[in-house]
Amino acid sequence: MMEKLHRVVITGLGAITPIGNDLESYLKGLQSGQNGVDQITLFDASSHACRFAAEVKSFDPTGKLEPKESKRWDRFSKFGVIAAKEALNHSGLIIDNSNSGRIGVIIGSGVGGLLTMETQAHVLENKGASRVSPFTVPMMIPNMATGLAAIALGAKGPSSAVSTACAAGSNAIGDAFRLLQLGKADAMVCGGAEASITPLGVAGFASAKALSFRNDDPSTASRPFDSQRDGFVIGEGAGVLILETLDHALKRDATIHAEIIGYGTTCDAHHITSPTPGGVGGAEAMKLALIDGQINPEEVDYINAHGTSTPANDSNETSAIKAALGNHAYQVPTSSTKSMTGHLLGGSGGIEAVACALAIKHEIIPPTINYSNPDPNCDLDYVPNKAREKKLGVVLSNSFGFGGHNVCLAFRQMI
């Protein structure tokens, strides 16, 4: 007979984002509707079709990472480890020899160390094979945010990395949730990290016509669900959560910020980049999350949408929400924090899960900024331009990725 599943709660949060380099500043950014999009400064983008992005501003790892580490780690790993350290500190959980084998790490990344790959490819071409850094491979592989976080924290339990494009961070959280439900660990460090604002990253997405080209007014470029949207804005950063079994959290008298109750994941099996028309796969992921959490559609109080600001995603996600929630969809505030942070690709599920936990704790729904032109195909309540105070019971977070990956996570106020 299958043992009863453990309840799983969120006890720690960490974030480094385009609207705040730590949890407190990220919360303030969400509450105020801060815009994190501006001209690219990480490289000379003057010859690019898209010349703006949502960068992490004034990033300085001094005091958070050893100088030697900063030189030997890719930017995405730095983001992931710094967010993981903040989350662990926020949780008050101490990892030592008595518990390290029961604490694991799963941090997703869609691309991994793209900057390292580009830099070392340039070295290879211009200086020769002998000049390529011996740290090239460990710097660029997408599992290294997980590996380095585990080393930094001393976590020796279940460890893996997820690379399901823009669903990676949410898949990582969902997979960690499952391990805890099954009793395979007592606590998990999980989320997503990405740093793909590079010449190749921006050029590649631009060539695929996935990005906005609003170079004359980048601050309004990320405009999910707006009829004038023309593509997403690439972002960077990391969001990490500390999940624990309820019993473990209660035993150490931890502060509980929210409970994670459901995880649904599907694949469109349709196209390498485009979602299935009508959002069928996304709807099924949402339904599975509701079933998993044993909650009815009418209990959902808020949805943090994938909301990329691309024509196809936003209309299909709107259809998916309607298919999953029925008429209740029109009663549910649905916002896209990507309007503020841009799209962090594999890191987006991490910072958006953090946003959901903060929304529950602080009883405030982040807005969809830059929303001014309603789209007949997107006719839900998108919380336009200003945060909204509301006590939240059940919250959903959607993440959809290239390759057809769909994920929905369900959170609940602790009861």
How many Å separate Cα 257 from the centre of its chain?
18
Segment 361-414, tens digit of pLDDT: 999 999 999 999 999 999 999 999 999 999 999 999 999 999 999 999 999 998
1 pLDDT more than 80 = no
218: pLDDT confidence band, cut at 50, 70 and 90? very high
Which domains are delineated in the chain?
A: 8-251 (3.40.47.10), 263-412 (3.40.47.10)
Decide if 166 is catalytic: yes
299 pLDDT more than 70 = yes
Report d(CA 407, CA 289) in Å as an integer: 9
Under DSSP, the state recorded for 121 is H
The predicted model gives 288-292 an average pLDDT of 98
| pLDDT (0 to 100) of residue 2 | 56
| pLDDT (0 to 100) of residue 415 | 81
66 pLDDT more than 80 = yes
- List the end-to-end C-alpha distance of the chain, in Å, as a whole number: 27
119 pLDDT more than 50 = yes
341 pLDDT more than 60 = yes
Strand pairing report for 364-365 and 388-389: antiparallel
Report d(CA 164, CA 176) in Å as an integer: 15
Report d(CA 264, CA 291) in Å as an integer: 9
| pLDDT (0 to 100) of residue 387 | 98
What is the b/e burial string over 142-177, where b = at least 16 CB atoms within 10 angstroms of the residue's CB? bbbbbbbbbebbebbbbbbbbbbbbbbbbbbbbbbb
pTM score: 0.97
35 pLDDT more than 80 = yes
The predicted model gives 44-70 an average pLDDT of 94
- State the catalytic residue, choosing from 50, 166, 356, 378: 166
- Paired tokens of 243: 């999940």
Burial class (CB in 10 A: 0-12, 13-18, 19+), 58: exposed
Contact 190, 243 (CB under 8 A): yes
What is the b/e burial string over 242-258, where b = at least 16 CB atoms within 10 angstroms of the residue's CB? bbbbbebbeeeebebbb
Segment 220-234, tens digit of pLDDT: 999 999 999 999 999
In 3D space, the residue among 274, 257, 290, 287 whose CA is nearest the CA of residue 357 turns out to be 257
| pLDDT (0 to 100) of residue 238 | 98
